[in-house]
Amino acid sequence: QVQLVESGGGLVQPGGSLRLSCLASGNMFSIATMGWYRQAPGKERDLVATISSGGNTNYAASVKGRFTISRDNTKNTVYLQMNSLKPEDTSVYYCKYMNVGVNYWGKGTLVTVSS
């Protein structure tokens, strides 16, 4: 069982920045693919970004160039740096752990972009 705890969400003005963190339990973090997903009210959960164990990254078109995913295997933590935030980025952001067909989700952290 892997537990994921997200943090760093909050209220930010349009054009602002936030950094989300996701701390994972266990000793297999370094070989897992990690991802950030988001879900707005009344909508499906969508991919934001993923990072492989080797550091390869993948982004949704809507966030490319504004968001950066990174990981620190020494801290069992994956980050999502979000810049130039827009109101449409308002969502609950979830961390996902993926390893050999086994997936775990965090409980999410709310990001609200509003003036």
- pLDDT tens column, 73-98: 999 999 999 999 999 999 999 999 99
Which DSSP letter does residue 13 get?
-
Burial status of residue 38 (CB atoms within 10 A of its CB: 0-12, 13-18, 19 or more): buried
- The DSSP-derived string for 86-108 is -GGG-EEEEEEEEETTEEEE---
Interacting residues of 58 by C-beta distance below 8 A, sequence separation 6+: 47, 49, 50, 51
- The pLDDT of residue 101 is 85
Which residue(s) pair with 110 in the sheet?
A: 92
Q: In this structure, are strands 18-24 and 4-7 parallel, antiparallel, or unpaired? A: antiparallel
Number of other CB atoms surrounding residue 85 within 10 Å: 22
Quick: pLDDT tens for 11-69. 999 999 999 999 999 889 999 999 999 999 999 999 999 999 999 999 999 999 999 99
